[in-house]
Amino acid sequence: MAETTTAKAANKSASKVSNRLRQGFAALVWRVNRQLQWFQGAHTEPKPPPKRRCPCLVIARGLYSESWHSYNIRSQRALHKILKQKYGDAANVQFFIGPWHQNQRKVLLIELNNTALSLKEKALTLLPESLVLSAALAPGLYEINDGEHQYYLYKQLYKQESQWQTLLRSGLVNNLEKARLALGCSAEQQATQLTQRQLAALTPRGVAKLGFNYWQQGLQQQQGQRGRQLPWQQLGLTVAGIGAVYLLLSSVYLGVMNQRIDSELEQVTPQVSNLLDQQQQLQQAQQALTELRGEFVNAQRVNAFWEVFAAAAQTENNRITYLQSNDSNLVLGGEIPEALPLLRQLHDLPQVATAEFASPPRNARTGQQYRITMELTGEGQGND
């Protein structure tokens, strides 16, 4: 009972630590809506913009346009160089290269509007809201309502690859039916509405699921500075903090699991020890029985050997000159007036399974020389 209480307390402590770590990570993520209101983490109430560059900033869908492009270039580094040459140093262009799948890489191209350009100087990492939500949401059709800003997001699995696209609500696309048609959904596809509160909760979760590869592609640099002049110290502290969060969470989880396993082992150990002792006793008994059976069989064969030998030796006018025994076989040789009656006599003994001449008897001056091969059964006179 005490061990169960300890395990429950450890689980409760781990849950508290996990919640605090998630809250700490969410505090590093900021979101800006179309009205340029700032929200921190999962909060739904706007806050003043941070005085320093925030670690991660997610900008609303209405602050940029997006398009998808495909390239059959396996190396992400080579593709990044090609895209940099293609778009140059355009301040309003940002691209995110996806994983290699089906012999191609898909690239999400983001073009910021004039309102969003000023936000680049206020964040270390800039991520589009649609990319973040696609990582947090399951496949399906979603209608996102963020105040006056509304749009649709459709995510599906195609050939084991997650694909998604968004569509802003406009005069042409002003209802769900038209959105289904424009996004290529079926008419039966149900839509899930996301409120501002749900959007706020999904934002830090989606940033965490995107991973380091997309965080790195969203890195921003201050105007007039090169990439090597980015505030790496602050960024390093941010990444180190995130790593420490996951490391601490993993350590707490492993500690709880080890404690639970130790508790279960303590309960099972006496039963296992008892079973092992019984198994050892059974093996010893089986070994003793095997040895006893072997000794009994050997004793039977020895007894059968002497009984057969005595029967042959007591036969009238039988002079034994040769005797050989090997396990259950017995070879008897000698000289007797007639060898065939002796063969029949030995064959009829209960200790003899088979008896036959090893070679035809040969006539001698005083009788016949014989050699009889017998297979013993191991039965003695005392056996039923």
- 120: helix, coil or strand? helix
Which band of pLDDT confidence, cut at 50, 70 and 90, is reported for residue 229?
very low
Contacts for 288-294 with beta carbons within 8 Å, 24 or more apart? none
Number of Cβ within a 10 Å radius of residue 292: 10
CB neighbours of 139 closer than 8 A, spacing ≥ 6?
155, 156, 157, 162
Number of Cβ within a 10 Å radius of residue 273: 10
Please name which of 66, 6, 13, 3 lies closest in space to residue 253, comparing C-alpha atoms: 13
Cite the residue boundaries of each domain of the chain with CATH code 3.30.1360.100: 298-376
Q: Name the amino acid, one letter, at 40.
A: Q
Q: Write the pLDDT tens digit of every residue in 130-155.
A: 999 999 999 999 999 877 778 999 99
Q: Write the pLDDT tens digit of every residue in 177-192.
A: 999 999 888 888 899 9
pLDDT at 225 over 50: no
Separation CA 123–CA 53 (nearest Å): 5
Range 298-376 classified under CATH 3.30.1360.100:
yes
Q: Name the amino acid, one letter, at 295.
A: E
Please give the pLDDT value at position 149: 77
Helix ranges (DSSP H) in the chain? 2-26, 76-87, 114-117, 129-136, 176-183, 196-210, 212-217, 232-313, 339-347
Please give the pLDDT value at position 295: 53
Distance of CA 347 to the CA centre of its chain: 69
**11 or 66, higher pLDDT:** 66
The DSSP 8-state label assigned to residue 138 in this structure reads P
Instruction: Tell me the mean pLDDT in the region 320-343.
Output: 88
Number of Cβ within a 10 Å radius of residue 141: 19
Rama region for 327: left / alpha / beta (φ>0; ψ in -120 to 50; rest): left
pLDDT at 327 over 60: yes
* Rounded (5°) CA angle 266-268-272: 120
Instruction: For 192-204, give the DSSP string.
Output: EEE-HHHHHHHHH
Separation CA 179–CA 173 (nearest Å): 6
- Indicate the Cα dihedral angle 158, 164, 167, 172, nearest 10°: 0
* Rounded (5°) CA angle 233-235-237: 70
Instruction: Tell me the mean pLDDT in the region 302-315.
Output: 83
Which band of pLDDT confidence, cut at 50, 70 and 90, is reported for residue 71?
very high
**310 or 232, higher pLDDT:** 310
379 contacts 300 by C-beta, under 8 angstroms? yes
Q: Write the pLDDT tens digit of every residue in 248-305.
A: 777 777 878 888 887 777 787 787 778 888 888 788 777 766 665 655 556 677 778 8
Q: What is the mean pLDDT of the chain?
A: 82
pLDDT at 2 over 50: no
360 contacts 280 by C-beta, under 8 angstroms? no
